[in-house]
Chains A and B, each alone.
Chain A
Amino acid sequence: MTDVFQNRRYVIQYVVVAVVIVYVLRLFQLQVLSKNYQQLARNNVLREVTVFAPRGLIYDRKGKLIVDNQNEYDLWVVPSQVQAFDTAAFCSLIGISDSLLRLTLKKAAAYSRFKPSLLLKGISVEKYAAIQEELYLFPGFFGQVRTVRAYPHQGAAHLLGYIGEVSQSQIEQGGGYYRMGDYIGISGLEQFYENELRGRKGSRFVLVDVHNREQGAFAGGSFDTAAIPGYNLLTTLDMDLQLYGELLMKNKVGSIVAIEPATGEVLALVSSPAYDPSLLTGMERTRHFRQLASDSLRPLFVRPLKAAYPPGSTFKPAVALAAMQLGSITPRTGYSCAGAYSVGSLSVACHHAGYVADVQTAIQYSCNSYFCHIFRKTIDDSRFNQTAEGLDQWKKVMDALGIGRRTGIDLPNEGYGYVPGSDYYDKIYGKKRWNSVTIVSLGIGQGELGMTPLQMANLMAAIANGGYWITPHVVRSVQESGTGKPIKTARHIVDLDTNHLSVIREGLFRVVEAGTGRGVRIPGITLAGKTGTAENPHGRDHSLFVGFAPLHQPRIAIAVVVENAGWGASYAAPIASLMVEKYLTDTISHTRKYLEQRMLEANLLP
């Protein structure tokens, strides 16, 4: 056979060999030289799935569960798996509008066709059960469970607080812990004990296929980290008392704070109007929040901690204590009341007239003249160079009693209240342009004073304890893996003469026995207290009551404020006495049922 193109066999062989060499070089480049394909491959198939840690539970002082976790579902969509479907049926199934669905799907597709996007969050278990039955008709959509807060009792919302999604600034300040969509405590205990409650998120590394379906654990799960559940909080709250207080305060605006004096443990912290804490969980959270935020009665405002009221007559024990402490009067100092306290053009009316023999009697009858007198006597005392110095010394005593300062309760955003000092009046009137007459209303708890209900209750605790108060606190211990770790509290010693304190206690006891508060005597219980009627420049006077019981070895100190309710004796005192009776005897005595009935039915909303 003649083969004239013999040389072309070599050309063909060279071409074949050359192509193989080029391909081998290319493979060398892809597989050996270039390192980033390994990373790309890993990104392709590895997903880090966050395992949310269940938040810690919260119990009351009797071990009753008050904050629980509950499952809810988020609905996700993977655009690449979505087939043509009946949008109308789907919308009615999950309960969103057609236009919202279209918008969400468009956004999801723009984000990624293969990775899941959130379509709807916070679907309740009941609602999801119905959705799940038909979800198979809509490929590409799937539900994912996550835990949310649940409240077995509809109370203590302000104290417990709520959780919500982290904001951008919280993510930045969270030290890398929080990611978009994580929950964080926003108010109350949830906020204050966020670090204890949140636990630690875990993560699972899973292999996924091209459709983002899980195919199993990566490396046998050796890179996974388990989620650590949050620590439980054992609180000092008495949930029964709390709920009873909220019931009493229904249709009224105001606060109740109850503290166990010996320990500083908060028994109840009622802010009215209250709301059901479960409103701020789940799908409707945002809508409910907007409703609550726009309510003119400001139900989201935590009154016991933040609202500063002029304490009115409830302040008089503190005035007497300061006067005695600073040596301006003795417990036996008397004063003749003429039915009003008049200095120059100023006149402070008094509801009774006659000679007030001593401090006890003055407290018993809440004699305005007496307290105006001793207040002026205190700050004008000749031992001070001038009134300004006297006022500042007086303010120091108030500070020791926890007035005009934060008590340090374990709840966020506590208010300071306000006790004016000389600098305040210097600013308003000018230096030495004011004197004790100008500010005499401080002596009866009016004027520039502001006290939070918590401070009022704390003052009672200090008096009941006989000269010290423990930082009020809501959490007794944090339950770390089985063992309870008690939280730290401070003991604040108020340098007061115990004799002075027992005089005050006796006076307060007489208020209820035979004074302004005699209408709320509780059979068998020695309740000591003080009514107050705070002048309110914006409307009707606020009704106030502070007190403690029993007189000896007190177990509860209480402060009640009912806004725009008039006399202290008319609402605040009965409510306080009912709280005390409920707490101490767990029931309301037969003879006082009418009082309870009247309080429950009273509607004082504007």
Chain B
Amino acid sequence: MTYYVSRRPNQGIDWLLIGLVVTLMVIGVLAVFSSGAADGHFRLLDLTQMHGRQLLWMLVSLVVAGVIVLVDSKVYTVFAYAVYGVMMVLLLLVFVFGVTVRGDTNWLVLGPVRMQPSEFAKFATALALAKLMGSQNFNIRSLRQQLLALAILGLPAVLVLLQGDAGSAIVFASYALVMYRFGLSAGYLLAVVLLVALSLLTVVMDPTLLVLILFALGALVLIAVRKNRALLLTGAVALLLSVGYVFASGYVFEHMLEPHQQDRIRVLLGQEAAARDADYNVRQSKIAIGSGGFWGKGFLNGTLTRYNFVPEQSTDFIFCTIGEEFGFWGSTLLLLLFLALILRILFIAQRQRSRFSMIYAYCVASVLFFHLFINIGMTIGLMPVIGIPLPFISYGGSSLLSFTILVFILVKLDGDRLAILR
């Protein structure tokens, strides 16, 4: 049943959500200004400087956001697969026309504009996933449907991974949270978490010892569940798979990961002696944030971030600038702003009457959460160094525009929630 109500475009718009996003954008421009500006560059719209370009991208993003809000929301539902398809084609074009920037060949150049299709693939995938899972006959318990959903996530992930941007590829895993929300068995998530933990243990421990421990634990579990034939069988298979996995992941770590990737994992696991150079980023980042103290050193007074001690400080390590210059209260405030943003989106998700809109809202929340979780986690030394941006804050036009589109499609869908029921 579908019905229409005549209404103005700004009706039903969630101004709180927009306010949060714009606040983050402004903080982002200021942080980029502080981390990149050399002394004497105080003109805001100076396109030779990073903050000037970031400000321009912010204005462009807001214009695009306005256009998104003006467009009929049906466009996003109807053309969801088309948008996804176009983005996949762009990702493929990167293999042909791709330009290398900072080691990653994931850029396309269109005249004066450079863009990263891998960023835009995020919202396109969200649209496609929402379209698939929002359809009437979608059943999360069906293996075929599961594989279909996995294909929608896997295709861009694999393409991005092949471009050498492992960080962005991992982002697509965040949509697993959406699938969990809408009925995917928690066992899948648990299995993924266990596999990751096991992989990490393989790096730290002697594999033989690990296998012995696994057998010992497995035996205990099997003895405990010996009366339940089904569990016993599952347990035995899981044990054998685990042992196999230990050897396999050890092999993968030693032979298939790049040395710098091995180092990053070692650093995270505390094997710092083996990887002093890789440790450098995280150590400098922690020093910068830690030196901020409670009140911070003040805007533009962060010595470490301003003098380039933290690598990638305007992009992936932008949080260091805030941590150093605004201290504990500033960092906490930023975290709370993000928390408010994500919780607001989750709240918005729950008030959707259309399944498509609801799933899409969860996609937005998941992607934003995943970026926050990884990005800030790595700057404070709780996560391995995975190069993904902090939404709305990190320097970079593609990422800013992509997150804006991601959120404002939701704003539009939400604004029409009362008008359309799908």
Interface residues of A (CB under 8 A from B): 1, 4-5, 8-9, 12-13, 16-17, 19-20, 22-24, 26-28, 30-32, 34, 36-38, 40-42, 44-45, 207-211, 215
Contacts and interface: CB of A to CB of B under 8 A. Distances in A.
A22 B382 CA distance: 10
Given A41-B290, A42-B291, A207-B307, 15 more contacts: A5-B182, A13-B346, A16-B339, A20-B338, A20-B339, A26-B382, A31-B292, A31-B293, A32-B293, A36-B290, A41-B324, A44-B287, A45-B303, A45-B304, A210-B309
Given A16-B343, A23-B376, A211-B308, A30 B294 contact: no
A20 B182 CA distance: 23
Contacts of B335: 20, 23-24, 27
B181 interface: yes
Tell which of A4, A8, A20, A40 has the most Cβ of chain B within 10 Å: A20
B247 interface: no
A9 B181 contact: yes
Task: Identify the 3 closest CB pairs spanning chains A and B, nearest first.
Answer: A37-B290, A41-B291, A209-B307
Contacts of A41: 287-288, 290-291, 303-304, 324
A461 B331 CA distance: 83
A5 B376 CA distance: 30
Contacts of A24: 332, 335
B133 interface: no
Nearest to B310: A210
Interface of B: 177, 180-183, 284, 286-294, 303-304, 307-309, 323-324, 327-328, 331-332, 335-336, 338-339, 342-343, 346, 349-350, 353-355, 358, 362, 365, 369, 372-373, 376-377, 380-382
Contacts of A26: 380-382
Contacts of B286: 30, 37
A19 B335 CA distance: 10
Contacts of B372: 19
Contacts of B373: 19
A40 B377 contact: no
B346 A38 contact: no
A47 to B, nearest CB: 11
Nearest to B327: A31
A589 to B, nearest CB: 73
Given A37-B286, A38-B290, A13 B355 contact: no
A44 B304 contact: yes
Nearest to B296: A31
B343 A31 contact: no
A24 B382 CA distance: 12
A19 B304 CA distance: 27
10 contacts: A9-B349, A16-B346, A31-B290, A36-B290, A37-B287, A40-B287, A41-B287, A41-B304, A45-B309, A208-B307
Contacts of B289: 27, 30-31, 37
A579 B77 CA distance: 112
A278 to B, nearest CB: 42
A212 to B, nearest CB: 10
Contacts of A19: 369, 372-373
B336 A209 contact: no
A446 to B, nearest CB: 74
B380 A30 contact: yes
Contacts of B292: 31
Contacts of B308: 209-211
A28 B290 CA distance: 9
A40 B291 contact: yes
Nearest to B308: A210
B183 A4 contact: yes
Contacts of B324: 41
A49 to B, nearest CB: 16
Contacts of B284: 44
A211 B327 CA distance: 25
B86 to A, nearest CB: 29
A31 B180 CA distance: 36
A44 B310 CA distance: 11
B382 A209 contact: no
A38 to B, nearest CB: 5
Main DSSP-derived SS at the B contact region = helix
A337 B301 CA distance: 98
B328 A32 contact: yes
A44 B309 contact: yes
A13 B343 contact: yes
Contacts of A32: 293-294, 328
B365 to A, nearest CB: 8
Contacts of A37: 286-287, 289-291
A20 B323 CA distance: 15
A41 B327 CA distance: 14
Contact of B377 (A8, A17, A23, A208): A23
Contact of B290 (A5, A23, A34, A207): A34
Contacts of A8: 180-181
Nearest to B181: A8
A34 B327 CA distance: 13
B181 to A, nearest CB: 5
Contacts of B369: 16, 19
Contacts of B336: 20
Nearest to B297: A41
Contact of B293 (A38, A44, A207, A209): A38
Residue with the highest number of chain A CB atoms closer than 10 Å, among B304, B327, B353: B304
Nearest to B182: A5
A12 B181 contact: yes
B307 A23 contact: no
A98 B390 CA distance: 49
Contacts of A211: 308
A113 to B, nearest CB: 9
A31 B324 CA distance: 9
A28 B330 CA distance: 12
B307 A215 contact: yes
Contacts of A34: 290
B294 A12 contact: no
Contacts of B338: 20
A205 to B, nearest CB: 12
B337 to A, nearest CB: 10
B26 to A, nearest CB: 21
Contact of A12 (B177, B304, B353, B381): B177
Nearest to A13: B346
Given A32-B293, A40-B290, A45 B183 contact: no
B137 to A, nearest CB: 14
B346 A27 contact: no
A114 to B, nearest CB: 10
Nearest to B283: A40
Contacts of A13: 343, 346
Given A17-B339, A30-B380, A37-B286, A45 B307 contact: yes
Contacts of B342: 16
Nearest to A208: B307
Contacts of B377: 23
A37 B304 CA distance: 11
Contacts of B304: 41, 44-45
A1 B291 CA distance: 51
Contacts of B381: 26
Nearest to A12: B181
B247 to A, nearest CB: 32
B177 A27 contact: no
Contact of A5 (B177, B183, B349): B183
Given A9-B346, A32-B294, A38-B293, A27 B309 contact: no
B71 to A, nearest CB: 24
Q: Which of B180, B291, B362 has most chain A Cβ within 10 Å?
A: B291
Given A20-B335, A23-B376, A28-B328, A209 B309 contact: yes
A33 B288 CA distance: 15
Residue of A8, A30, A32 with highest tally of chain B CB at under 10 A: A30
A349 B274 CA distance: 88
Nearest to A216: B39
Contacts of B182: 5
